[in-house]
Chains A and B, each alone.
Chain A
Amino acid sequence: MLTIKNLKAKVETDEGGKEILKGLNLQVNAGEVHAIMGPNGSGKSTLASVVTGREGYEVQSGEVLFEGKDLLELSPEDRARQGIFLAFQYPVEIPGVSNTNFLKTAVNEIRKSKGEEPMSSVEFLKMIKEKAKLVNIEPEMLSRYVNVGFSGGEKKRNEIFQLAMLNPKLSILDETDSGLDIDALRTVAEGVNKLRSKENAFIVITHYQRLLDYIVPDFVHVMYDGKIVKSGGKELALHLEEHGYDWITESMLSV
């Protein structure tokens, strides 16, 4: 589904840019859940940004293919329309735009790109009701402005709710667990688990093993200094939880 080969990317700064990704490789297939862990500054969020097309990053070399298509050529909206979804680490508040209006626009823009008719209001409301249950979203939250005045937990639940509404092929969860209490974490994880299928895939970016107790990954990758330096099964996460990242950095330095 997603193939990343030798990806090198810079973040644009006043001084002309700083290299963050330094030759990253990753293969994600349908039906898989990949966890990406690593210390702060290792490039996890940059990876999410580059794959989804955020401005301010410059790809220097390598390729990112999604179902065989070159993603890097596409605008952020076209990537989303292809089926890529980013659950934001810091969901943005948008005053004046209601959640419902926002989602309706998104759903219909994606349908339009596929040559489909806009969804009827009845159909849309039905879908909203159904998906809201998945992540315990109160109907009242939907008439509010996007994320405005939402608690941290509400914002993250809203991200997973949007994920459910848009039904993407590949979802990237960027530190969706950070700042969540255990109840909110369970709600979010249960939502994700219900949405997992053979047709879709997830990349779960996290600092902590805790989330992976609830969303059990098929693969765990450790990122360090812009590269994936170690990959393994779910037991790798447990090892990291116990021993921290130091043993990795040490083994890197000794190379």
Chain B
Amino acid sequence: MDKISTENIDLKVKLLEDFREFESGLNGETKNYFHKIRQDAIGTFNELGFPVKKLEEWKYTNINPILKHDFKTTQHFADSKLSADDIKDFLFQENGVNLLVFVNGQFDEKLSKIITKNDGVFIGSLLKGRVILGEVVEQHFSKYANYKNQSLTALNTAFAKDGAFIYVKRNAAVDEPVHILNISDSRDESYLSQPRNLYIAEEGASVKIVEDYYSIGGKHSFTNAVTEIYCGPNSNLERYKIQSEGEYAYNINTTQVMQEKDSLFSDTTISWGGAITRNNLCAVFNGTNTECHFYGLYLLNGKQHVDNHTLADHAMPNCYSNELYKGIIDDKATGVFNGKIMVREDAQKTNAYQSNGNILLSEDATIYSKPQLEIFADDVKCSHGATTGQLNNEEMFYLRARGIGKEEARILLLNAFAGDVIDSVKIDSLKKKLRNTLSKKLTKEN
């Protein structure tokens, strides 16, 4: 086991104390399965400590700056002080959407709005879901996101209390997208929010989920989110995760997907903001003929740091995975892409593709791009490609020779570069909002 650095000790010790306090406030709940898992998880966190750069998986991401702040945890949260007006700008569509609002990890029922009324569909908070659909939660909770070797997943699991819970029963379809709005409100205090999300699409079910992360306020915030997704046989689940937080926000986000046979899962992860962001995304294929798509876009400036770790785990034959991640990095920002494709012995006839493209706009911008293919089957089609460069001079000259100014040409080319990731978005209103944000960010950069 790696030793934790001395800088880490304060927050770790504080969190362990916080856990005891959290536990003492739970009263009768401490004896159920849910809390048994928490207790086991805090033990793991205590053992592992925060990840250090010596670990291969954290080689390029130093989380020490996060650990210097005195974050308040779950039991110290004040009630949400936000109004409908405060969150207006965070919406991609005002009507025709299910809206779940979480402020510092706590469900804000007043600001939330559920419009899908289908039988067998639950869209709401995990806290409530545990009451109404206790058996379903018990069947899936902490079954996919393994915390035994992931200290931050362990930390989240230890404090697991609330988050978004979406349950779509067999053959049900949720037509209206679900918008989960996570807001870090650090106007008064620095908070550690640990949303615990669970999305379940049973056999033949379909749903589209948009997870947005925003921050307000001038103090630091730390979100350590864990999302577990279960895609039943022949289900279709689309998930969009968009990080739009400000310069004082830290966000570590772990998503673990379990895909049964014939299921289709698609993830789009977009990182616009935040000081340090780490996205872990893993899909495990537990049945044949499953398909998954990973799309990603990161647009970084200042001293931002974004680390995307993905894993497509082909455990069964005849599955398809496709990954496209793109980054535009300016100033002194750093991007990390670590995309792994695992093709296990039984996964014959696997088709797995991966591509990572980066444009560096300044001398001080950095990208660490690491594609990893581990193939143990012999009849597979796999490919990966990574490109990193500056804006293409020939393309620039072609545009400028037509009277298009240098700045306008730059924006046109960068929009085009990032465009195919945004084209993968299947919710029109969201796609439009993302396109606008992209153009605005590209224009603002100079």
Contact = CB atoms under 8 A, between A and B. Distances in A.
Interface of A: 52-55, 75-77, 79-81, 85-86, 88, 91-92, 94-97, 101-102, 105-106, 109-110, 113, 145-146, 162, 166
A162 B402 contact: yes
Interface of B: 392-395, 397-406, 408-409, 412-413, 415-417, 419-420
Contacts of B402: 80, 102, 106, 162, 166
B413 A94 contact: yes
B412 A105 contact: yes
Contacts of A55: 393, 397
Contacts of B400: 53, 75-77, 80
A1 B409 CA distance: 28
Contacts of B403: 77, 80-81, 106, 109-110, 113, 166
B405 A92 contact: no
Contacts of B401: 52-54, 76-77, 79-80, 85-86, 88
Contacts of B398: 88, 91-92, 94, 146
B131 to A, nearest CB: 49
A128 B406 CA distance: 24
A92 B405 CA distance: 17
Contacts of B417: 96
A91 B403 CA distance: 16
B412 A102 contact: yes
A85 B400 CA distance: 11
25 contacts: A54-B401, A55-B397, A75-B400, A76-B400, A77-B403, A77-B406, A80-B403, A86-B401, A88-B401, A92-B397, A95-B416, A96-B415, A96-B416, A96-B417, A96-B420, A97-B415, A97-B416, A105-B408, A106-B402, A106-B403, A106-B404, A110-B403, A113-B403, A146-B398, A166-B402
Contacts of A105: 404, 408, 412
Contact of B413 (A81, A97, A106, A110): A97
A162 B392 CA distance: 21
A65 to B, nearest CB: 19
A109 B408 contact: yes
Contacts of A145: 416
A52 B398 CA distance: 10
Nearest to B420: A96
Contact of B405 (A79, A94, A95, A109): A109
A106 B400 CA distance: 9
Across the A-B interface, give the 5 residue pairs with the lowest CB-CB distance, nearest first. Answer: A96-B416, A80-B403, A106-B402, A76-B400, A110-B403
A54 B397 contact: yes
B413 A77 contact: no
Given A53-B401, A95-B416, 18 more contacts: A53-B400, A54-B397, A75-B400, A75-B406, A76-B397, A77-B400, A77-B401, A77-B405, A77-B406, A80-B403, A91-B398, A92-B392, A92-B398, A94-B398, A96-B416, A101-B412, A105-B404, A145-B416
A54 B399 CA distance: 11
Contacts of A146: 398
B278 to A, nearest CB: 28
Contacts of B404: 77, 105-106, 109
A146 B401 CA distance: 14
Contacts of B392: 92
A94 B402 CA distance: 14
Given A109-B404, A110-B403, A96 B395 contact: no
Contacts of A86: 401
A70 to B, nearest CB: 18
Contacts of A97: 412-413, 415-416
Nearest to B402: A106
A76 B397 CA distance: 7
Nearest to A105: B404
B267 to A, nearest CB: 22
A235 to B, nearest CB: 33
